[in-house]
Structure 1
Amino acid sequence: MKTLQRHRRRRVLLLQTTILPLLLICALSMAKERPSFELAKGINCLDKIVLRESRCRSAEVYLYGGHVTSWKNENGEELLFLSSKSIFKPPKPIRGGIPLCFPQFSNYGPVKSHGFARNRIWEVDTSPPPLPSNYSSNAFVDLILRPTEDDLKMWPNNFEFRMRVALGCEGELTLTSRIRNINSDGKPFSFTFAYHTYFSVSDISEVRVEGLETLDYLDKLKNRERFTEQDDAITFESETDKIYLSTPTKIAILDHEKKRTFVIRKEGLADAVVWNPWEKKSKKISDLGDEDYKYMLCVEAAAIERPITLKPGEEWTGRLELSAVPSSYSSGQLDPRKLLH
C-alpha cells in the first residue's frame, strides 16, 4: 500500500512540475498566435471584423470588399474618411475607408473601373501561409478572396488574394496583400493595384503632401499626360487626380489645423495616387456629399505604370503601413522631414 501511495505521489509531482507547465506554455503560445478580433454585424447587416488594441485603438474591416472602413486612435478619433452617403449594399462599392483596386486600377484595361475585389464577399482565412516575423501583430485578421465564375469571365485568371489587416501596438494600421497565380494552364497574368485610402482631414485647403516633390506624374485630368512636380509640397485649390511614378517608400500628409501628420510607408508599390474631386465633381458622385471633398484626401499606394506580372506559382506582396503622429511646427510651417527618413 505504501509503495502504491509513493507511486501516486510521484505521478502527481510529475504532473505538477512538468506536464502542466508544458500545457500552459502551449496554451499561451496558441493564445499569442490567435488573432484578437471579433465578428460583428455592420451597416445593412453586412459582416465586419473589429480589431482592438490595448489602448482603445480600433479598426473595422467589412468582409464585403475586404474593406477597411474605420481606423481610430487612442482618443477615439476617426482617421479615415467615410462618406455619410455610402450605400453599403452590394454590388455598389463602399465610398471611403480603404477600397482595394484589383486586378485593375481605374478604367484603363479590360475590367470595370478599379476591378472587382472591392465588390466581392471575402472570407476569413483560417490557414494562411506564415508572414515574416517583422509583420507580426497581436490584433489582426487574415482574409482571402478567390475568383467567382463572373470574375473568370471578365478576367480569365485563377488567383488567390490573401490580405492581413493588423493594428499595431502604437496604433499603426498595416495591410499586407499577397496575390498568387494559380493558373493550371501555365499562363502568366498581369494586374494593377491600389490601396485607395481616404484620409480624414480638417480642411483640404489646410493640407499638404510631402515626399513627392520633383517626381514625374501622370495627370488624369489631362489625358494622363506626363509632367514633373515643380512645387516643394502638394497643396490643394482645385480638383486633383495625379499618378506619381517611382515614389519613395514614405510619404507624409500634413494637416495644419489638426496638428497631425499621417505617415504612409509602403513596400512593393512603386506609385502613389493623389486625388480630391473638389466641388464640381463631388456633386456628380451620388454617394458623396456635396461638401465632403473638404474633409477628405486620397493618397493611394499603388502599382500602376508597370503592371505586376506573375507566372503560375509566383506570388506578389504589397504592404501598406499607416501611422498618425503629432506635427511639429517651424515658422508656421509643418516640418515632417524627420518622419520621411
Structure 2
Amino acid sequence: MSKSSAPSQATLADPEVLQAKSSPTRDDDLWFDDGTLIVVAQNVEFRVYRNHLAERFEVFRDMLSFPQPTPSDSTDDLPCPAIHVTDSARDWRNVLRLLFHPEEQGLFVKRSDPSFDVVSACVRLGHKYQMTAVYQQAMAYLKYHFTADLLICKSRRNWVPPGFTLAHAIGVVNLARLTGEHTLLPIALMVCCWKEADIVEGFTYDDGEQEKLAHDDLGLCFAAKARLLKVTILAYFTTYTPPPPGSCELKDGDACRRALQGLADIAAREVQRATLPNPIVVLNYALTGSGPRLCNGCSTAVKSRQLERQRQNWKQLPSVLGIDVPGW
C-alpha cells in the first residue's frame, strides 16, 4: 500500500473544545460501555477499545502511546480519551463494524457480496491510515471484479460485483484515482460510459453525501463513449467477413457464405439495439447453434476471429478510453 499520501487528519480532541460544539450523537451499535477510546466523526461518537484500534491503525500507534487521562479524570460527557477525525461517520461505522463485530469479521472471505459502502470505506480509511490488512482485502476484491485479466473478465456474467450497481463504478473510478490503483480504471470507466445524462449527478449515499466523477473524468467519459461505440461496431462487422481460403469444409461454399451474411445481418440489428458500447463482447451466434449455421471449419475460423478481435480490443481499451495504464 502506498505510504506517500498526505498526513492523516486525526487528532486527540480537547474535551473543552468537544463540549463547546453541538452535542454529539452516540452510535448505539458501536458504543461499548467499557470502551477506552472515543472516535468522533461528523459529530458521531464511536466508543471502542484503544488497544484494538492501535493494533490495526498504524498511524494511531504513536499518538495513542502517550499517557492518556483515565476515565476518572474526564467529564461525564467525555468518559475516556477522544480522537477527532475528518472522515465521514459512514466510513468509520463500516470499518469499525468489521473490527469489533464478530459476525462481520472476515467479510471478504465469508461473503461474496459486500456492499460498495463497505468496500469503499475499507479502501479510503485503509489507505489514509495505513490499515494494511483491511486495505489489501478490499483492494483485492476490487481488482478481481474490475480486472486487468481478460480471461477473468470473460468468466463472469456481470461487469460489477454482486453488491454493486452500475452507478458504483463512479465510486470505483474515484477510489482508483485516490490510491493510484490505475488497473481499476478501464473497466470502471467503460461502465461509467454506459450511463446516460445522470452520470453528471453521480449517486447518493444513505447519509445524503453525493459521489460524483471529477470534471476531468466526466469529460473523459463523454469523449470516450463515441470511441467505444466505434470500436464496438467494428468488432461486430469484422467478425463475419468471409473466412480465410481453405477454412470451409463444404464442396460448395455458398451455404456458409449465405450463413455468414445472415450472421452479419443479425450483428447489424444487435448494433442498432446496443445501448452499452462494449468492445469486449463476444458474439456467439455461430458457436451456440442459434441463427444461421456454419460448417465446422467456418465456425472455427469465425471463433478464432472473434477471440482475436476481443484480445485486440482488450489490449487497446485504455487508449480507447483516453487513459494510460502501465502494464495493461
TM-score, normalising length from structure 1? 0.24
Higher strand share: 1
TM-score, normalising length from structure 2? 0.24
Pick the structure with greater CA Rg: 2
Structure having greater relative contact order (Cα 8 Å, sep ≥ 6)? 1
